[in-house]
Structure 1
């Protein structure tokens, strides 16, 4: 599945309004969480990185006017059909607050979390649907991955039963050949193409 381009996702609307953010944060906390320590990442006083006890969801939570507020949220999904026999991780929900107050805290976190994810699971695959922000983030991470000499591939699931992975050898090649192939608005095609970054 390659990334189908979409407008802002539903969770963005839920977390984007402060009142709804507080409500969803309270529900997230009520279901049960534990502090999560990302090696090398230090949050300022007043912020906590939490992981749900019941799903692979992580949030940076703070307090806004005495109420819990999510400044950043990411949810993971694990699978191996695209990169079989290797397992892979996909960020299926990524949201960050637009509020200026929290920008210094969350600005570098998405890249840091992504790099940790890759170091833990070796293979990260893009989601089947992405906003314009999601695409820009992936292009940044692919550019970084090239500097690390990691393997970048395009996975195509539109032909036959199995996914076909094609290596991408440079960022220039990605721009010339693969961006238009991988991202677009065709509901029958683009959810079945993905980008893959692998340490192997």
Structure 2
């Protein structure tokens, strides 16, 4: 990642295929991300999805993880222009995305949307207010109905490459 230097004793490694990244210390994983790419959300434009984001809970590694998720996410947006949430519907995933959405709404270089994959015409809903995201859109995206909620995905894109509904 340009501009990122791992703390002393840590190594940031990217798999040869570019689909997995790990922050290691003495062969112990402190942070890991797996990525998939696709073109189904914004036809003709590649997007990436972090299908796995994991960080250790061990206290001795927390200093090395400060802002790493945010930096990694920005790097993904610099690389692919569009990042889409996954459909796993976990509590940790929700918290991760709520942070990313709040950061993106505050940054004029990004556009935040929800893609509803079960609606005809690939319906897009734009989000530009954190309060409205918390009160309305977050509960709309995350829920227990697998037939509905797993098809509602959050999208963050760079303004210059935003898909247009």
The alignment's TM-score, normalised by the length of structure 2, stands at: 0.89
Unaligned runs of 5+ in 2: 160-165
- What is the Cα deviation at residue 168 of structure 1? 1.5
- What is the Cα deviation at residue 175 of structure 1? 2.4
Matches within 5 A, 1:18-29: none
- What is the Cα deviation at residue 190 of structure 1? 1.1
Could you give the per-residue CA deviations for residues 74-99 of structure 1, whole angstroms, max 9, x where no partner exists?
A: 01111110122221111001100111
Could you give the per-residue CA deviations for residues 49-90 of structure 1, whole angstroms, max 9, x where no partner exists?
A: 111124510001111xxxx21111001111110122221111
Query: Is residue 145 of structure 1 aligned with residue 108 of structure 2?
Result: no
User: How much is the aligned-residue C-alpha RMSD, in angstroms?
Assistant: 1.4
In structure 2, the residue matched to 1:61 is 24
Q: 2:89 touches 2:150 (CA, 8 Å); kept in 1?
A: no
In structure 2, the residue matched to 1:115 is 74
Q: Secondary structure at the match of 1:184?
A: coil
In structure 1, the residue matched to 2:7 is 44
The alignment's TM-score, normalised by the length of structure 1, stands at: 0.74
Aligned residues: 158
In structure 1, the residue matched to 2:162 is none
For residues 69 and 89 of structure 1, the distance between their equivalents in structure 2, rounded to whole angstroms, comes to: 26
For residues 55 and 198 of structure 1, the distance between their equivalents in structure 2, rounded to whole angstroms, comes to: 20
Which structure has more relative contact order (CA 8 Å, sep 6+)? It is: 1
Q: Where do 4+ consecutive residues of structure 1 move more than 4 Å?
A: none
- What is the Cα deviation at residue 176 of structure 1? 3.2
- What is the Cα deviation at residue 134 of structure 1? 1.7
Unaligned runs of 5+ in 1: 1-37
- What is the Cα deviation at residue 188 of structure 1? 0.9
